[in-house]
Structure 1
Amino acid sequence: MWKRKNSVMSMWATGLLSLSVLAFTSCSKEGDGDLGEGSMEIRVTDSPADNDGIEAVFVTVTNVKVGGQVVDGFEGPKTIDIMALQNGKTEVLATDKFTAKSYQNITLELDSEMDENGNAPGSYVEMADGTKHKLASTAGEKSEYTFNGAARVMADAKSTIVLDFDLRKFIRESDSGSASDFSFVNKSDIDGYLRFSDEDNAGSVKGNYDGQVAADEKVIVYAYEKGSFNESQETDENAALQFKKAVASTEILGALTKSFSFYFLEEGEYELHFVSYIENEAGEMELNGIIDAESETNANLLNNVKIQAGVQLTLNVIASGI
């Protein structure tokens, strides 16, 4: 009789435990839903390409994913002239509701074959003389590229996220000897080096550049996270892409008053490096060297540029040669 009673008590206890587990699981699932929702607006921008002969670069986006999940609010396919979005200009790509939490990656699917109107090609480079060259992809008709960053969606609030295409990383001229052929770079070459920023957590830089820039020269400024620049690695002639680890890049502009600017830099510490390119006999820009440059007010400031959210930093830079 005692054994029978013990068995009954054991079954009752087991049943009670099972109900408790079910109740806990149910509460956990409901808790996930209690996080609420906020909206995320995804925008795109660009940093300068290296080829002066390029007039425009059109890419066709066919799919957008946030944290691996397809964004239903994206109305595609959508063809965008990325080069028209430099110097702080952006274009809305998609807006949708998301669970209130942090997101670390956004993936775009690009179509090489067909644009938003069903015409070929889907993604292409347009030269200054009006000729168009398809941006081929080794992945086939469509290829995916993932941008990394930190986006926080708050309940009942709106977040604005900016993806930086940084075309100098995205496209390359063919190695076949024909300067008119272009392609998307291999995904493996830039995996981990594409970024997005949360507009609410980003700042900007406006700079004046006191230095000579020859008629056949171009000066590019590269922004690196502090301590991440390795000159021998970043300038390796055999590398698929030089200055790959740069967070962003911009060009010195202006004939008399020379200036540069960075937009949508995440809050943090950076270092700036000024690089000279010279046009060779084939009309291509070749690396000429790293420029010796320093801040007018602090010789070490360019190695410790502090970006604060919502703040525009002004720099006056003096260049003394290569």
Structure 2
Amino acid sequence: MKDRILKLTLPLLLVFFVMSCSDDDDNTDNTLTGTAEVHITDAPVDNASVKGAFVTITDVRVNGMSVENFNAVTIDLMQYQNGSTKLLGDLEVEAGDDTEVTLVLDYEADVDGNAPGCYILTDDDEKHGLESDGNEITLDEDVEVIADTTNEIIVDFDLRKTVRSSTESEFEFVSRTALENAMRVVNKGNTAEINGMVSNRAEADGDVIVVYAYEKGEYNEGEENENGEGVRFAGAVTSALVNNTSGEYRLTFLEEGEYELHFASYSRSDITGQAEFQSSLTVESLVDLNILDLELTSAVNLSVNVMITGTVNQ
């Protein structure tokens, strides 16, 4: 009798053991993760009267989760240009190629409780408050987070695209939707830069020269005109000021791909100090490269020296 009970019990125990192991396997988390460090940077603004551009950030989220080691901060974005960045915080997230970053802004007060929270500081030390129709700016782009490594996720605020002037205000943020479209997010490990020198600037008819990087084939003459948000060259991936003294420029954090460069001149208004568009420029490459067909690969910096030969719309 005992032998019979044992023969019946052993198969039942074996089935229970196999089912338990199967359940344990189902509950095992095999999700690959990586560390996402969120950094912020800015493309230069071309207004001579602007002394600083401050934003107050109260929260930074990656895929809906707040980053660690972050406290509310008021940042002068103009201190983080030409490849310079500020670390906001980090978070362990699921690896993959669809990373959502959200910045929560405080328009009312900075971290010291002073109003406003976001503002342009002009050279007369006057604060010009900035705000938009929403304070949560969500950037949902195909940014890859690589597993088992630290990923530097760069948020490019791009003041040139995000701050405009209007009949109501000398400085104001564009709409929240335009903010989200103007700002970009990249993984630094998958980016490169274009740099170089601009010579013969006497052929330009303005005080300031700006270089714009476009994805190949995305530029048309209509880009010279202001769009509905009052922004010129709105389709550019990024832009850079050409140094008035050295002629140097740097276009940073460009993802690998094909690009074309376009140059434009601006004059300073004696009244407002703002840069007023003068003309697009014709340039000639001084190296064996076609500035309308530049190929970038990750972590490779491309040097492109050009000479201004004239203006387009004079």
Please name the residue that 2:88 is paired with.
Answer: 93
Q: Deviation at 1:64?
A: 1.8
Aligned residues: 292
Q: Deviation at 1:153?
A: 2.5
Please name the residue that 2:278 is paired with.
Answer: 288
Please name the residue that 2:236 is paired with.
Answer: 246
CA–CA separation in structure 1 for the residues paired with 2:210 and 2:130: 24
Q: Deviation at 1:28?
A: 6.0
CA–CA separation in structure 1 for the residues paired with 2:112 and 2:165: 26
Q: Which of 162, 182, 186 is matched with 1:170 structurally? A: 162
The SS at the match of 1:138 is coil
Instruction: Pick closer, same or farther for the CA change 1:120–1:61 going to 2, 3 Å.
Output: same
Q: How does 1:76-155 map to 2 (within 5 A)?
A: 76-139=71-134, 143-155=135-147
TM-score for the superposition, normalised by structure 2: 0.84
CA–CA separation in structure 1 for the residues paired with 2:218 and 2:25: 45
Instruction: Pick closer, same or farther for the CA change 1:280–1:206 going to 2, 3 Å.
Output: same
Q: Deviation at 1:310?
A: 1.2
The SS at the match of 1:153 is coil
Please name the residue that 1:304 is paired with.
Answer: 293
Name stretches of at least 5 consecutive residues in structure 2 with no aligned partner: 1-18
Q: Which of 205, 210, 214 is matched with 1:220 structurally? A: 210
Structure 1 counterpart of 2:304, one-letter code: L
* 1:161 counterpart = 2:150: no
CA–CA separation in structure 2 for the residues paired with 1:238 and 1:264: 25
Q: How does 1:269-280 map to 2 (within 5 A)?
A: 269-280=258-269
Q: Deviation at 1:74?
A: 5.3
Q: Deviation at 1:137?
A: 2.4
CA–CA separation in structure 2 for the residues paired with 1:231 and 1:25: 62
Name stretches of at least 5 consecutive residues in structure 1 with no aligned partner: 1-19
The SS at the match of 2:161 is helix
Q: How does 1:177-216 map to 2 (within 5 A)?
A: 179=170, 182-213=171-202
CA RMSD of aligned residues (A): 2.6
Please name the residue that 1:48 is paired with.
Answer: 44
CA contact (8 A) 2:216 2:258 kept: yes
State the identity %: 34
CA–CA separation in structure 2 for the residues paired with 1:243 and 1:24: 58
